[in-house]
Amino acid sequence: MDLVEPYREFFTITLADTDELRKEVFRLRYDVYCRELGWEAAENFPDQLERDIYDDSSRHCLLKHNRSGLFAGTVRMVMTRDSDHEPTIPLIEHCGDNLYDGPFHPSQMPGGSYGEISRLALRSEFRRRNGEQSSPDGHGEHLFEWSQDERRRFPHIALGLYLGASAVGLAEGADGVYAMMEPRLARHLRFAGIRFEQVGDPIEFRGLRAPFYISRKILLRYLSRPLRRLLFAIAEDMQLDV
């Protein structure tokens, strides 16, 4: 199964490495997290740019829908530094008390050796069937319709963003990365060879979610061939050496 050709036909993933592109990231997150889902209070972001304390230590990815020109999604990789004496990732803030003791606890990892995939956001047009929700950006949905043919040929939009963040982590030299996700998503990723290991008890955090970890070694060993090719294609688009 070839995923690279439909991905390249429909989407482009880029690093948000300019102030203007980072504004697009924060604007998209505001639309999704504040306006659509209500997960963050809109009044906390009067400039309509959703940000937090981890953004300055993150590298951000933007997914662009080629046909419409719309930024469809975003994700970030929160990186740690060699000088960090305490874990500095969102996962610690949200579920630090629920993490299992052992070698995969962030406190056992050297600073700079790991990161966290975080703040994944997809516009409603790319999350739901047409007509379920009005467009959040003031335009009619028909302008940015995510067609059934596109859905059929490349249904793995969120997975593409996960691979984009993974490419960033690999390029940064991370030994492994954490992520908060629904256990059922982790099971689905496992079928594709992305073998996240649960490293803490589930908590209620925007739904039932648990902390997971995957090492560089395990990712590259078990990633399915189609997804491996997609990973390298995405890394090439972002001009990353993995």
User: Which domain CATH number covers 189?
Assistant: 3.40.630.30
Residue 48 tokens read as: 């309509």
Question: Does the predicted model carry a pTM greater than 0.75?
Answer: yes
Whether 186 is in a domain gets the answer: yes
Whether 86 is in a domain gets the answer: yes
Is the pLDDT reported for residue 183 higher than 60? Answer: yes
C-alpha torsion sign, points 159, 91, 77, 229: negative
Whether 50 is in a domain gets the answer: yes
Structural contact between residues 68 and 12, judged by C-beta atoms closer than 8 angstroms: no
pLDDT band at 198 (very low <50, low <70, confident <90, very high): very high
pLDDT, tens digit, for every residue of 93-133? 889 899 999 999 988 888 788 999 999 999 888 875 444 34
Whether 242 is in a domain gets the answer: no
Predicted confidence at residue 90, as pLDDT, reads 92
Strands 197-198 and 208-215: antiparallel
| Domain of 187, in residue numbers | 4-237
pLDDT, tens digit, for every residue of 70-79? 999 999 999 9
Strands 114-122 and 176-181: parallel
Q: What is the distance between the alpha carbons of residues 157 and 173, in angstroms, rounded to a whole number?
A: 25
